[in-house]
Amino acid sequence: MLPLSLLNSSQGHPMLVELKSGETLNGHLFNCDAWMNLTLKEVVQTNADGTRFFRLPEAYVRGNNIKYLRVPDEVLEIVRQKNQQQREERQRNGLNNVGGGGNRNYNNYNNRGYNNNYNNAAGGGQRGGYNRGGGRGGGNAGRGGQYGSARGGRGGFGSGNGRY
């Protein structure tokens, strides 16, 4: 469960916000943004010692000052149900493997003997060699590095023992 989805679902519900300074704010969450900046309504502010209380109609809390948030259990259950529904919907629509990638093989300029192999796996693997070989079928795959280049002999069948 992501914190921002939890906060967005918490709008309109009461919550406790503890600041890094030790002060606490109790109020209803009115608004939040991507940086966890919060706007609370009907706020009771307590100092760090817990000896003084202040009633405020509205309070703005900058996200980097927040130490702790307490939201009601009912909000947690709402967010869990939303996440479960989204998961089921993705499975029904077949979008469970988004960004799969896989191997792509681009064979361009075969009449010149160029063979470009790119490996676009989801994990971001390194690219295969840029193989340049004369003759039919291109040369061998390049060794190491991001771009290896092997040059085949003219008229051969791509058996190039080239330099890098």
* pLDDT tens per residue, range 21-56: 999 999 999 999 999 999 999 999 999 999 999 999
Architecture of domain 3-93: Roll (2.30)
Nearest to 86 by CA among 151, 22, 2: 2
| Coil, strand or helix at 10 | coil
pLDDT in tens, 93-104: 886 555 555 555
What band does 20 get if pLDDT is binned at 50, 70 and 90?
very high
Residues 6+ apart with CB under 8 A from 152: 113, 132, 133, 134, 135, 138, 139, 140, 158, 159, 160, 162
Overall pTM > 0.85: no
Per DSSP bridges, beta strands 130-133 and 53-61 are: unpaired
DSSP 63: G
Q: What is the pLDDT of residue 94?
A: 81
Domain borders along the chain are 3-93, 101-152
